[in-house]
Amino acid sequence: MRTLLQAMLWAVLIAGPCSKAWAQLDPHRRDLLQLGYNQPLEGVGPISAYAFYYLSRPQFQGSNTALRIALAPTFVDSELGLRQLLGPRTDLAFGVSGGGFADSYSEVRRGKLLREESFTGHGGEVSASLYHRFNPDSQIPLTAVLRSAYHYSTYARDSRTDLAFTIPEDRGDVHLRAGLRWGGREPVMFPEMAMELSVWYEAQVRGKPGTYGYQADRRVEHQSHMAWMRGLLAYTLPRHQHIISLSTTLGTTLHPDRFSAFRLGGALPLIAEFPLSIPGYYFQELSAKRFFLINASYGIPLDPGGHCQIQGFGATAVVSHFSNIEQPGGWQSGLGSAFVLSPGKKAWQIALGYGYGIDAMRSSGRGAHSIGLLIQYDFSRSGSLLPGRLQPSQGRGIDRILGK
């Protein structure tokens, strides 16, 4: 219990960016405090946690300017959007993000975290994005996205990194992304209604490709290419207020390396823009060249006001594992449940959950248990501000500090 409380405290104090570059300008004013934490009950995995303050101002210093900021003690992710700058349907946005521990890497093979092959990474990024709305008169937006970004990463040894293990060189990468999104999902824990169909492509061009590891046994590719599709539906039944959510994600890569492979595992809804969650697994436990993932959940209110809710959720995936990080079995599945409280005006949402990774590998065989805590505070519902606005988290760096 003491270890759990210490890890949760570090998650609040040292969280890095949970999500980066939402793929359209947020049209709603928001002031949200978000916190999430997963704790495995078997084995030791990367700490899975985030804590951040999310601010959105669709009219910032003028009707045509939008501002989005996600802020954590060691990381900031921001974007300033200029609406209709390139035409009545086209917005231009400039982003700046960066901070500590966001580019850290944790090596997980066959359900075991290998500290001796893991290392710390810090980084910063500048970006420019175009958002074009095809159907301004429609209730469901259809948006095309073009983004270019320059990302610089620096790497350092942890106290447990093997002296014989060579870490990657510091480098600058160019990221190019194109996407088409119909609908979208609000940046909240449990949206009552959402719909999305989207398709994406991203190319990463590395400034310093090369080798690292044990006797140069792994590579940083000169170019890596990723493509993925997502379908999502969340709906609240009007009569009974049951909440149904279903999503599917399909992804593939060309010339992947450890920095561009898709990584699946964990159960935190806001850990990334496209979270690849499987309950009961470590955060980013599985590295995939290709995958097909299905997530589903069903929530039932326990009182007429919907202030208490019980949820059941699950995920299953077909995974083509990244070479050298293989885990036997193409199917990977997990189940879980959560108790959700929304007291008062529902400004607070607090969820305590349990997950079981059916196919997760551990020292005792297949199967792994985890518990989780999610907290969201919506300042706009309370009408007042709380002291100490905490902010974003990229859990990949938190375990580095906890390890020290």
Q: Is the pLDDT higher at 386 or at 232?
A: 232
Which of 104-108, 213-217, 377-381 shows the lowest mean pLDDT across its residues?
Answer: 377-381
Domain count, the chain: 1
Residue 325 pLDDT grade (very low, low, confident, very high; cuts 50, 70, 90) = confident
Q: Give the predicted TM-score (pTM) of the model.
A: 0.89
pLDDT at residue 57 tops 60: yes
pLDDT at residue 397 tops 60: no
Average pLDDT over residues 249-278: 96
**pLDDT at site 384:** 47
**pLDDT at site 22:** 53
The range of the structural domain enclosing residue 345 comes to: 2-403
Average pLDDT over residues 245-267: 97
Using one digit for the tens of pLDDT, what is the confidence trace for 384-396? 443 333 333 344 4
| CATH number, domain with residue 188 | 2.40.160.50
pLDDT at residue 330 tops 50: yes
In order of 110, 119, 199, 311, the CA distances from 196 in angstroms are 33, 36, 10, 22
